Amino acid sequence: MYSNTEIQQIVAEQRKFFRTGATLPVKWRIEQLKKLKTAVVAHASEFEDALMADLGRSRVEAYLCDVGPIIVEINEMIHGLRRWARPETHFSGLMCFPSIITKVYKMPYGVSLVISPFNFPILLTIGVVAAAMCGGNTVVVKSSSKSVACTEVLQRFFAEVFPPEYITLIDGGHDVADMCLAQRFDKIFYTGSPAVGKHVMAEAAKNLTPVALELGGETGNWCVVCKDADLKDAARKIAFFKLCNAGQICININQIAVAEEVAEPFLEELKKAFVAQIGEHPVTNPEYPKLITTAAYDKCAALADEYRDRIVFGGEGDRESCRYAPTLIYPVNKDEHIVKHELFCPLLPVVPFKDSEVDALMETIADREHPLAMYLFTKDMKWAKRTMQTQQYGGGCINEVCLHMMVKGVPFNGVGHSGMGAYHGEWGFREFTHPQTVLKGSTRFNLSLREHPYTGKVGELKMKLLRLFER
């Protein structure tokens, strides 16, 4: 258990280290990123074991969703950092003559706080820490108290690889998180729920600390399956995604809206896809992940019981192992409470709609809080592209799920109640740096244009020149 004094000391030591300028050279940052990558590879099996203990994830799923993406992310940073960090050169403009050269430097914020979640405790800790390192910051990590095994492994990992004045991990519950938030950090990055995100932002405001928030979205992520969609393909992809981490994914599908004209055949395809991928008894399948705590299991089971008469697939679980089967609930009205909040579990409500009224459905979605992700399945690319360009959400896919966050060079972010800021690759570097504009002044050929007097013939001449320069 940490005290306020201990956390203050950790932050003070990191600030002292940052002010030495050790983290500023790009060459040094690349060396640290290489060291991080080497350590991730060396500890991969340990991370996989911890993910199995906390979330019941198989080695393949643990590597696919946590370890592998970190390595890809760090590689992108190592290869791109020199280019990203290069100062920009701008022409200052005639108004600034003769000082015609302006530079924009990418400066790290300083001491950063990363608050990571339980659902992807390795990826969403090391991945964000890597972005902070890439930007030249020091990092204090507050990891989740729910993913106990992963937090223990990560604490040993960071202590082994980096000195505490550069990177250090603090464990503990909400009280420890609040002690961290009470400190004056230069940047805060939080991943988790909108409710806690509001608290983080309120605490950060006391010190005017800039915040990046990656949130699940208050009313959940929609997947829309139109009448003309390839139902088998859609079902296969949706089943894979809902099984992944037992639905505990911030960009996962919270509810499906399916055209009522194809609802029955789609549900049959979705059932077959679940069985094909996880078997008829997922609760006893060791490959199927579990819910993080018994409290999470009880919440999921209680909601399933509330809709028991409309469960058309699944609906059973084992509290001892915290596994609850993927469960389809149909039909559900778009205004029922189950589709008005993030579920974060294997329950999957299915909302039928008339295909001719899909735009009205999209209006309903737009009226709610902005989701972190959106997924459309249709052959009508004109409609799909128009919809994706007019809705507000973090990111998404057409005829696919989740892969948008795996693409190199593009941002991962939320908007409104699903977050603010962005990271991954160069976008992570940008998130953890701020641009500083510096004009290089000239000591020769300086004009008196900006100086008094502003009246008489001299003033008239200056006005003519100003209007000329501003064209």
Considering the domain architecture, whether residues 289 and 338 belong to the same structural domain is answered as yes
Please indicate, yes or no, if residue 210 is contained in any of the structural domains.
yes
Question: What was the pLDDT predicted at 95?
Answer: 81
User: Residue 345: what residue type?
Assistant: C
Q: Kindly state the average pLDDT of the residues 430-434.
A: 98
Considering the domain architecture, whether residues 427 and 356 belong to the same structural domain is answered as no
Please indicate, yes or no, if residue 306 is contained in any of the structural domains.
yes
Question: What was the pLDDT predicted at 295?
Answer: 98
Q: Kindly state the average pLDDT of the residues 289-309.
A: 98
Q: Kindly state the average pLDDT of the residues 148-172.
A: 98
- What single DSSP character describes residue 456? H
Please indicate, yes or no, if residue 414 is contained in any of the structural domains.
no
Question: What was the pLDDT predicted at 218?
Answer: 87
User: Residue 31: what residue type?
Assistant: E
Considering the domain architecture, whether residues 307 and 191 belong to the same structural domain is answered as no
- Tell me the per-residue pLDDT of 68-119, one tens digit each, with 9 for 90 and over: 999 999 999 999 999 999 999 999 988 888 999 999 999 999 999 999 999 9
Please indicate, yes or no, if residue 413 is contained in any of the structural domains.
no
Exactly one of 214, 269, 369, 431 is catalytic; which is it?
A: 214
Q: Kindly state the average pLDDT of the residues 41-47.
A: 98
Considering the domain architecture, whether residues 429 and 387 belong to the same structural domain is answered as no
Considering the domain architecture, whether residues 193 and 93 belong to the same structural domain is answered as yes
Question: What was the pLDDT predicted at 438?
Answer: 98
Please indicate, yes or no, if residue 344 is contained in any of the structural domains.
yes
- Tell me the per-residue pLDDT of 352-409, one tens digit each, with 9 for 90 and over: 999 999 999 999 999 999 999 999 999 999 999 999 999 999 999 999 999 999 999 9
Average pLDDT, the chain: 96
Considering the domain architecture, whether residues 204 and 232 belong to the same structural domain is answered as no
Considering the domain architecture, whether residues 180 and 329 belong to the same structural domain is answered as no
Residue 202: exposure state from Cβ atoms within 10 A (0-12, 13-18, ≥19): exposed
Count of other CB atoms within 10 angstroms of residue 319:
12
- Tell me the per-residue pLDDT of 45-72, one tens digit each, with 9 for 90 and over: 999 999 999 999 999 999 999 999 999 9
Please indicate, yes or no, if residue 115 is contained in any of the structural domains.
yes
Please indicate, yes or no, if residue 80 is contained in any of the structural domains.
yes
- Check if 180 is active-site: no
Residue 468 has pLDDT above 90, yes or no: no
Contact 110, 187 (CB under 8 A): yes
Read off the CATH number of the domain in which 395 is found. 3.40.309.10
Band of the pLDDT at 453, cuts 50, 70, 90? Answer: very high
- Tell me the per-residue pLDDT of 276-293, one tens digit each, with 9 for 90 and over: 999 999 999 999 999 999
Distance CA 86, CA 301 (A): 53
Band of the pLDDT at 1, cuts 50, 70, 90? Answer: confident
Question: What was the pLDDT predicted at 97?
Answer: 87
Q: Which of 127, 115, 84 is nearest to 185 (CA)?
A: 115
Read off the CATH number of the domain in which 72 is found. 3.40.605.10
pTM confidence score: 0.95
Question: What was the pLDDT predicted at 4?
Answer: 94
- Tell me the per-residue pLDDT of 185-236, one tens digit each, with 9 for 90 and over: 999 999 999 999 999 999 999 999 999 999 988 899 999 999 999 999 999 9
Q: How many CA atoms lie within 13 A of 439 on its CB side?
A: 12
Distance CA 469, CA 471 (A): 6
% of the chain surpassing 70 pLDDT: 100
Question: What was the pLDDT predicted at 448?
Answer: 83
Considering the domain architecture, whether residues 389 and 266 belong to the same structural domain is answered as yes
Exactly one of 226, 250, 300, 397 is catalytic; which is it?
A: 250
Distance CA 323, CA 129 (A): 31
- Check if 6 is active-site: no
Residue 469 has pLDDT above 80, yes or no: no
Distance CA 215, CA 413 (A): 9
Residue 371: exposure state from Cβ atoms within 10 A (0-12, 13-18, ≥19): buried
Q: Which residues of 144-171 are buried (b: 16+ CB within 10 A; e: fewer)?
A: bebbbbbbbbbbebbeebbebbbbbbbb
State how many domains the chain has.
Answer: 3
For 107-111, 237-241, 259-263, 444-448, which range has the lowest pLDDT when averaged over its residues?
444-448
Considering the domain architecture, whether residues 281 and 162 belong to the same structural domain is answered as no
Considering the domain architecture, whether residues 148 and 78 belong to the same structural domain is answered as yes
Considering the domain architecture, whether residues 205 and 227 belong to the same structural domain is answered as no
Band of the pLDDT at 264, cuts 50, 70, 90? Answer: very high
Q: Kindly state the average pLDDT of the residues 147-170.
A: 98
- Tell me the per-residue pLDDT of 333-349, one tens digit each, with 9 for 90 and over: 999 999 999 999 999 99
Band of the pLDDT at 179, cuts 50, 70, 90? Answer: very high
- Tell me the per-residue pLDDT of 310-331, one tens digit each, with 9 for 90 and over: 999 999 999 999 999 999 999 9
Tokens of 57: 């994830």
Q: Kindly state the average pLDDT of the residues 419-427.
A: 96
Considering the domain architecture, whether residues 451 and 400 belong to the same structural domain is answered as no
Q: Which range marks the domain in which residue 49 is found? A: 4-217+419-434
Question: What was the pLDDT predicted at 447?
Answer: 78
For 47-56, 292-301, 437-446, which range has the lowest pLDDT when averaged over its residues?
437-446
